[in-house]
Each structure stands twice: as C-alpha cells, then as structure tokens.
Chain A
Amino acid sequence: MMDAAVIAGYGLRECLRRRVFLVVLVLTGAFLALYALGTKVAFDEIGRLGAGVAVDDTVLTGSTLLGLAMFTTLFLGAALAAFLTLGAVRGDAENGLLQPLVVRPVGRDALLAGRFAAAALVCGGYVLAVYAASVLITGAAGGWWPDSLISPGAGLALGVVLIAGLSLLGSIFLASTANGIAVFMVFGAGLAAGLLGQIGETLEVDALNTVADVTSWLLPFEALYQAGLADLTSEAGGLTGVIVRLGPFGGAQSGGALLWLWALAYLLLVGIAARAAFARRDL
C-alpha cells in the first residue's frame, strides 16, 4: 500500500512539475468562463422570449446547458485520463523509464496500482470540480438546480476512472500512440452507441436499442453519463420531462444501483486483467 502511494506521489509530482495541472487549470477556466457567459445569455433570452409551449423553460434551459457541461466534462476528463496513462507501461518501457522502477522491491502490482491511483485521483477530482463549478454557474445564472446534485457528478467521476483503467490496461499491450487512438475510439464508440439508443428509443427500433444496451454494459462510462443526465431532471414531468430526457447530448437513461455495481465490478475486472497481463510481460 505504501509502495503504491510512493508511485502515486511520483505520478502526481510529475503532473505538477510538467505543468499539466497549470495547463488544465487555465483551459478549464476558459471553458467555465465561456459556459458562464453562454448560460447567462441563454437564461436571459429564454426569459425574455418565453417558450410558447407547455414546457418549463427554466428546467429545459438549465438541464440542457448542464447536460452540455457534463458532456464536455466527460470528454475533458477522458482526455486527461488517456494522456496520463496511455504510455504507463509499454510506452515508458520503450523509453527506458519503467525498468529502473520495476526492478525495485515494490514490484509490478504496486507500480500499476500507484499509476492508477494517481490518474484516478487527478481525473476523478477534476471531473467533480468542473461538474460542481458548472452546477454553481447554472444555478447562479438561471436559478435552476438539478433534482439530484451528487449522483450525476459521481457518475461522471466513476466514468473517467473507468477510462483511466481501460487506458492503463491498453498501455500494457499497445505503444503510446496506438493506445491513445484506441482509448479515444472506445470513448467515441460509447458515445455513438448512446446516441443510437436515443434514436432507437425515439423511433422504437429494437435493434438499435439492443446495440445501445449491449454497448452500455461493455462500456459502462457511457451508461453512467446517461444515468447522470437522467438524475438531473428525475422529478421533471409532462412534456418538459420527455424533452429533457431526449436531450441533445445523449439520451437520459436511468441506470439504477445495478449500473453502479456493474461499473465497480468492471473496474475490478479491468484491474485483474491488467495485473495478470503486466505480470507476464517481458520488459
């Protein structure tokens, strides 16, 4: 445990020294400023024009904007997770960075656990912080607050931790560039499957729904995101509820406790697979 903590501390210090945190902070600040401006303008315009139909325009605007923020947060978190882990094993081994660490008594398990812990801490913490800031901005600009505050953010955080785990697993087999491409393609496939499910549900096409369901189980980060969207407006009813659940950034789909259990089990399985693969890898 202490050995993994040493490796995690090493990873975090690397992020600090290589100005990863600084770059992320500056760019995220820019995103949040843009989001604040857009949110303020959107609420002002909606209030001035009026929706003209039987929908709650505050709920519609607030949930749509926060959905956009969650989508962006998931993407930024996934990018951070991928870049922090894509070269953790094979990439570092090819550069000669890994061998001096692995031959120490701490061993491979601690190294893997430490790298994962550092990435999970950074990405999970980042996503939670950006989500919290987005909620505050939305609330301050339009007076709208999500029906559930915690679970959408926690779902996003677990989603990017899953992506970090997958990227770490991929780094055992693939060189850095190939792994980065693979992680973003998997991420894109998850989002595409979510949108297919949304279309399938609207048009009542079973095949599309099945594809979306299977993909959600295979790549639970997308299902966690959809569950988060659903939790934003879990108490919205009528036409407003129908519209916001279709949402422009992926359909809202409640996942329930089973989804969370599966996501945690999935993470455990990824960890077991990574441990077994790394133990057998010649460096």
Chain B
Amino acid sequence: MPDAFACRALEKRYAQTLALRGVDLSVAPGELMGLLGPNGAGKSTLTKIACGLVRPSAGRASVDGCPAGSAPARAAIGYLAELFRFPGWLRGEELIALHQRLSGSGGGSAEQAELLELVGLAEARSMRVDAMSKGMQQRLGIAQALVGSPRLLLLDEPTSALDPAGRRIVRDLLRELRRREVAVLLNSHLLSEVELVCDRVAILLDGRIVAQGTPAELSRPRGVQVDTADGSRTFPEAGREDVPGIVAGLVEAGERVYGVRLLASTLEDAYLEAVGA
C-alpha cells in the first residue's frame, strides 16, 4: 500500500524566498504525523503542496501514490486551511452537502449527520455559518474535510480557535481517525496536543526538516527523581535501569522513599532545541 503522503527533495520558491529546501517526508496509511516549526518554517506551504493549492518548484510529492494536485490525489484528501472562511449564508448541513457534491460522495444525509455528530455540531446542523462562533466554524471545517472518507487529512492549525472542550473533541476525533486508518498531517503550534495524539513528529526550520521521530524518540532522558522524607532528590545521569540500585542505596542509608519518577525532556524541550530557541 502506498504512503498516504510522500515527498522527496521538495522545494518551493516564492520570488526571492525559498520556503522549502529539499524536504523528504512520508506519512504511512493511518499514521498521525505532527508537523511543527516556527512561523515561516514552511509548514503551510508543505500542506498546500500536498493538496495541490501550491505547485512545487522542484522535487516530487504524492498522495496515495498519485502526484499531489492531480484529480485522484485530490479525491483522497480532506483539507482544513489555517485561514479559512465558509460562506456565511450557508447552514451547517448545507455546507457539508455542497462538499459532498463537489467530492462525489454518495453519503447523503447519513454522512452529514455522522460528521456533524463527530465534531459535536449535531444540534447546530441548521445554524447559519455566520451565526456560529469561530470555534464552531473550525469544527465544521474539520467535518467538511472528512466528507467522502479521505485517506489523508491535512489539518493546518485546526485547534487554534477552540476552547479546551473543543480541543478535547478534536483530540478524540483524531484518535477515532487513527482507528479508521485515516492518515493525518497535523500542523500545530500546540506541542502538548501534538505530543498527546501524534505517532510521529517532524520539525521544520527554514524550509528543512531538522528533526523527525516519535515523540518518545525526540524526548531525551534527564535522570531520576526520588521523593524522600527530606524532599526530592534528582540523579541527572541515572536511567530506568539505575532505579533499583538508587532506591536500595537510599533505604540502606536510612531514608524513607515515597516516590520515584523517570525524568525525560518534553517535546517542547526537543522542539526548542531543534529550532535553536
């Protein structure tokens, strides 16, 4: 089975600016890939090339084995842009119906109801878009991106306007998509969100991928912390295998041990290190 998304030596030049400088990346079927990077790193450009909105200057990009931007590739994707707007005069279910017609989906009213339910907008199906809050519109945007059961979902900052409850809905939705084997390329500045849901993470900086791996691979051990009666003590060079010895030594020394924690750098630490901040 081909990768849901793959690109090789991908470059994009806008006049004097090189937005992408030879990006190699692949997203396996059903994989949740987080794309991180500072503003201007090239994340949105990469996403736009994947969905055919922007033409690459060099290199190749494919969706489900088809050239990115081709009709079969477009049929395999769902997309929510960072800066999007839907016509205010449409109702929620009408927007979904419009995208059903445009994508050739035969899901009908059952698909409309399912998608609106999935994003927590079942009660707002008859509400006009211009009467919805920004967060509701963002969830509606995710629902329209899911029309036609795409194999690859491209989400550019999908939780930027959501409150904590809305973010939880989207997190649960992403987990549900993983269960359905829908691949997701998720652009986000919310590192904690990415860490919670993504299988792998790529960090872009100045148009290049500077780090890539699972959140666990990108995080590094930072020692062992032990809670004793005298307070917390940290053993910075220790790892998991050292824990029994450390605890035994403390107990032998007459200390009472209340807890042991393995310390690791967070994705945020890894990110800040990768982008040199």
Contact = CB atoms under 8 A, between A and B. Distances in A.
A251 to B, nearest CB: 44
Contacts of A103: 51-53, 74, 77, 79
A100 B81 contact: yes
Interface string B119-161: 0000000000000000000000100100000000000000000
A104 B102 contact: yes
Interface in A2-42: 3, 6-7, 10, 14, 17-18
A17 B98 CA distance: 15
Contacts of B55: 280, 282
A3 B87 CA distance: 19
B99 A99 contact: no
B86 A283 contact: no
B274 interface: no
Contacts, number: 62
Interface residues of B, number: 29
B25 to A, nearest CB: 19
A103 B55 CA distance: 13
22 contacts: A6-B101, A10-B98, A17-B89, A96-B83, A97-B86, A97-B87, A99-B81, A99-B84, A100-B79, A100-B80, A100-B84, A102-B52, A103-B51, A103-B77, A104-B102, A105-B102, A105-B103, A105-B104, A280-B55, A282-B14, A283-B48, A283-B53
B16 to A, nearest CB: 15
Nearest to B76: A105
Chain B CB within 10 Å — which of A6, A17, A102, A104 has the most?
Answer: A104
B104 A18 contact: no
* Secondary structure type dominating chain A contacts: helix
A100 B53 CA distance: 10
Interface residues of A, number: 22
Contact of A104 (B48, B90, B103, B141): B103
A132 interface: no
A282 B71 contact: no
B255 to A, nearest CB: 60
A10 B77 CA distance: 22
Given A105-B75, A107-B71, A18 B89 contact: yes
